[in-house]
Chain A
Amino acid sequence: GAGVSQSPRYKVAKRGQDVALRCDPISGHVSLFWYQQALGQGPEFLTYFQNEAQLDKSGLPSDRFFAERPEGSVSTLKIQRTQQEDSAVYLCASTGTGVKTRYEQYFGPGTRLTVT
């Protein structure tokens, strides 16, 4: 596709519900990143995939957070038993493999999660 897409754009969940957030990276992009962005803050790293391999999940705040990318393309971030502190914008980004562009992150529009 033309850019990174994310769905849904907005999600309201009641505390305790499970949610699944989807990311479609740019076609051919090998690396995929998930970030959490609270209001007025910069994006905070959650996890990183290279193809289907999850190489770094050190930013996941708890074991309620789980991410997967089974075929090395689309990725899903799942949050179980949502809590109010999970309310934030969840951003997905992908990068290419070119020597000059491998560090340029292309971001999706984000999913705004509100836990009530």
Chain B
Amino acid sequence: SQKIEQNSEALNIQEGKTATLTCNYTNYSPAYLQWYRQDPGRGPVFLLLIRENEKEKRKERLKVTFDTTLKQSLFHITASQPADSATYLCALLMNRDDKIIFGKGTRLHILP
């Protein structure tokens, strides 16, 4: 079955630097890969979706890359701010009619 690995340790980044989070998966590449943000006591919030035939997607200070050869996605937050501190979840949608599989998430702390 498909497994997703995200940075198991919390990530501490100095304010203003670029934060980079990693999502690795096993087995087959998904049709779609998503990133969500989750704050304590709240549900996840959708951030970005990237398709298997796309290499990179950007949205404001966020950038996602998708490498199907490495079976890896990288999630970047540039010019990071303390308000970016949260847990970030990687999620795979294997095909258009399938359910979404979430990773465990990476806790990101942006230090002022």
Q: Do A and B bind each other?
A: yes
Would A43 and B102 count as touching, CB distance under 8 A? yes
Q: Restricting to A11-64, which residues have a CB under 8 Å from any CB of B?
A: 33, 35, 40-45, 48, 56, 58-59
CB-defined interface of B36-57 with A at 8 Å, one 1/0 digit per residue? 1000011111100100000000
Point out residues on A near B: beta carbons under 8 Å: 4, 33, 35, 40-45, 48, 56, 58-59, 91, 93, 103-110
Would A104 and B102 count as touching, CB distance under 8 A? no
Q: B99: CB under 8 A from chain A?
A: yes
Number of residue pairs A-B, CB distance < 8 angstroms: 52
Q: B29: CB under 8 A from chain A?
A: no
Point out residues on B near A: beta carbons under 8 Å: 4, 32, 34, 36, 41-46, 49, 89, 91, 93, 96, 99-105
Would B44 and A45 count as touching, CB distance under 8 A? no
Would B49 and A104 count as touching, CB distance under 8 A? yes
Bound-state CA distance A42–B25 (Å) is: 14
Would B41 and A109 count as touching, CB distance under 8 A? yes
Would A108 and B34 count as touching, CB distance under 8 A? no
